[in-house]
Homo-oligomer: A and B are copies of this chain.
């Protein structure tokens, strides 16, 4: 395992994206976002996702030229069609439009239908808090998880993001499965078990073993029936608000993960609600209350949502971003070096 400096990683990814057909502006933005995801420790949606995104471009599943097109503008909620353009730039566009509305009205909601994979959901929460705004965002996806009581995948893991600004912001980025397939794979390759039930094996038994769950595709919803139910209503609400596709309909698109998805971006301006100082104090108050919990057996201290990413970010900015050597070599080759 090597560590690669932030700017070097960004430059290599940018060249790979330009070579794959993105224009310079989109390539620069997407390279920054993929690098930031790896820098925050979300390797699966950072450097490790570059080759797959390029594959989608080459198959024509993502249209590098497309821009979002306005469908309906109601003032506080505006709907766009993402035209199956680049998921990251579509989503960043939606955040910026929603931010503009929020600064005017206190709240701004932008929805995207017919977009593509937004990569790491947390990106859009950080994008909001970095400009002093709060956000609630989510996407639906193709199915990858059975409903509670079911055997075959019928639910997306539908990542859900909530972010509240502060000197140290609160950022939640949560998929509806207890573990991702990526986490199962990493743990299986290490020859280890998951600490909590990962799903069902092919005999229908709940198991901590990642391999049998990867084989059955019966990953466990977070909170059992609770994550299952939340995935269902997030799907319906995203499709309703964006006049877009549901998970069942996305399953019929069959153009890779996330293609055709429906997304929601709600932004809020604390300046116009309780005020920025009030929000700063309440964010600190929530963080202090949580982090001063009496630690459980064997736990050093309790973290608030987003804190560990911020710590990882600082460390990786200083020391370089850890990479899997094979993946790094592959992306360098995609950049034409």
Contacts and interface: CB of A to CB of B under 8 A. Distances in A.
Contact of A151 (B172, B296, B305): B296
Interface stretch (A28-36, A82-90, A245-253): A245-253
Given A172-B230, A223-B178, A295 B149 contact: yes
Nearest to A290: B147
Interface of chain A, helix or strand or loop or mixed?
mixed
Contacts of A290: 147, 150, 154-155, 232
A136 B227 CA distance: 16
Nearest to A224: B196
Interface in A102-119: 105-107, 109
A180 interface: no
Contact of A107 (B107, B146, B230, B286): B107
A304 interface: yes
A163 B305 CA distance: 26
A97 interface: no
Contact of A236 (B273, B275, B283): B283
A247 B285 CA distance: 9
B178 A226 contact: yes
A210 interface: no
A243 interface: yes
A175 to B, nearest CB: 9
- Interface-centre pick from A229, A272, A278, A304 (highest chain B CB count, 10 A): A229
Interface stretch (A14-22, A69-77, A316-324, A327-335): A69-77
A326 interface: no
A149 B305 CA distance: 13
Contact of A296 (B149, B285, B288): B149
B204 A297 contact: yes
- Interface-centre pick from A154, A224, A247, A290 (highest chain B CB count, 10 A): A290
Interface residues of A, number: 81
Nearest to A76: B76
A181 interface: no
Contact of A172 (B150, B229, B270): B229
A37 B297 CA distance: 39
28 contacts: A74-B105, A75-B76, A77-B107, A77-B268, A79-B273, A134-B237, A150-B290, A150-B293, A150-B299, A151-B293, A154-B289, A154-B293, A162-B237, A170-B233, A172-B229, A172-B230, A222-B222, A223-B227, A226-B227, A232-B286, A232-B304, A233-B305, A236-B282, A239-B274, A240-B270, A240-B278, A241-B268, A243-B273
Interface of A: 72, 74-77, 79, 105-107, 109, 134, 136, 146-152, 154-155, 160, 162-164, 170, 172, 174, 178, 196, 200, 204, 221-224, 226-227, 229-230, 232-237, 239-243, 246-249, 268, 270, 272-275, 278-279, 282-283, 285-286, 288-290, 293-297, 299, 301-305
